[in-house]
Amino acid sequence: MHFGRDALERALQSLGSGYALLTTSRALAMAPLLAERAAVVYSVGDGRVDELAGGLLGDIDAGVELLVAFGGGRVIDTAKALAAARRPGERPRVAAVPTTLSAAEMTAVHRRAAGADGSLPGVRPAIVVNVPALSASQPPVALAASAANALGHAAEGPATTRASPVPALAGREAARLIGAAYAGGGEPDRSMLALAALLSGYAIDSCGYGLHHVVSQTLARLAGAGHGPANAAMLPHTLVALQRRGAAGAGALVAPASDLARRAQAVRLRDLGVDEASLDRCADAAAGRAELDATPPRADRNELRALYAAAY
């Protein structure tokens, strides 16, 4: 793992050259050197990770030993899905250079490539290169939505049944850093946000997802909301639900979560173009997710629908 202002320069020896690079035009404009050292460059567009990875399966040469993902969570998860499509022992390593606060570089949770064997284990990047100028590079509105996603990781990780002391401490420190980064009321401290996202990713990878991520991910998949904005809109409400379940410190995070939702222009789900008619479908789908067991008592369909209604 390489973190800091000079992290990319320090990581070049680990990355070498001749790798396959997955990226976006926004990312490449910030660090064209990564493309110069690549054997082949793939542009990852908008869409679902399973479909994006499925479309690239036939293009990735079997001899590729390293996939470098330079972009946001969608790009990194696509690289992870491509590696996971091969059996352990035959997989390329994944290196992640994030350009958002998604923390996808820290987790082994991701969609599987369409057409691949979904029973194979997930992939966690072997190399992480987190440069604050890159990972916290989004414009203010998108950055706030991404920070809300990180705060969701930080809050929910310590509240799950898999939580243990060190990841829980990392999650609490991540939440503190996010609050401190925005404490001035104006331009946030982007270096603090970059470190917070990294710590929050460690926390959620160790502790697992629960109620908040179930409702947010379901919105993103079924109601057309962006991943970050969906997290921003739901977090003030899911924190109250976690507080009812005894999650330490959840109540104190409602105010900073509400501030992030305002900054992300995602105070209400209707602001994100979510159709009220889709909320029943989302509640039905969310109610079937096994991850709800991680934040007992398990939320039933009625509670999930009420959370969506409160955020609408």
What is the DSSP code string of 18-48? SEEEEE-HHHHHH-THHHHTEEEEEE--SS-
Give SS3 for 98: strand
63 pLDDT more than 90? no
Residue 79 near residue 69, CB atoms below 8 Å: yes
On the 0-12 / 13-18 / 19+ scale of CB atoms within 10 A, 64 is: middle
Name the CATH architecture for the domain at 2-135. Answer: 3-Layer(aba) Sandwich (3.40)
Give the pLDDT confidence score for residue 62 in this predicted structure. 82
Domain ranges for the chain: 2-135, 140-311
Query: Given 1.10.10.60, 1.10.3720.10, 1.20.1090.10, 3.40.50.300, which CATH number is that of 140-311?
Result: 1.20.1090.10
pTM for this entry: 0.94
Instruction: State both tokens at 216.
Output: 């947010």
The tokens for 85 are 């499509």
Residues 132-145 pLDDT 10s: 999 999 999 999 99
Nearest to 35 by CA among 62, 65, 8, 6: 8
Judge whether 80 and 111 are in contact, CB under 8 Å. Answer: no
What are 130-177's pLDDT values in tens digits? 999 999 999 999 999 999 999 999 999 999 999 999 999 999 999 999
Q: Do domains 2-135 and 140-311 have the same CATH topology?
A: no
Residues 212-263: pLDDT tens digits?
999 999 999 999 999 999 999 999 999 999 999 999 999 999 999 999 999 9
| Contact status, residue 215 vs residue 286, Cβ threshold 8 Å | yes
The mean per-residue pLDDT over the stretch 269-282 comes to: 96
Q: What is the mean pLDDT of the chain?
A: 96
Is residue 246 within 8 A of residue 261, CB to CB? The reply is no
Q: With 90 as the cut, is the pLDDT of residue 51 above it?
A: yes
8 A C-beta contact, residue 260 and residue 182: yes
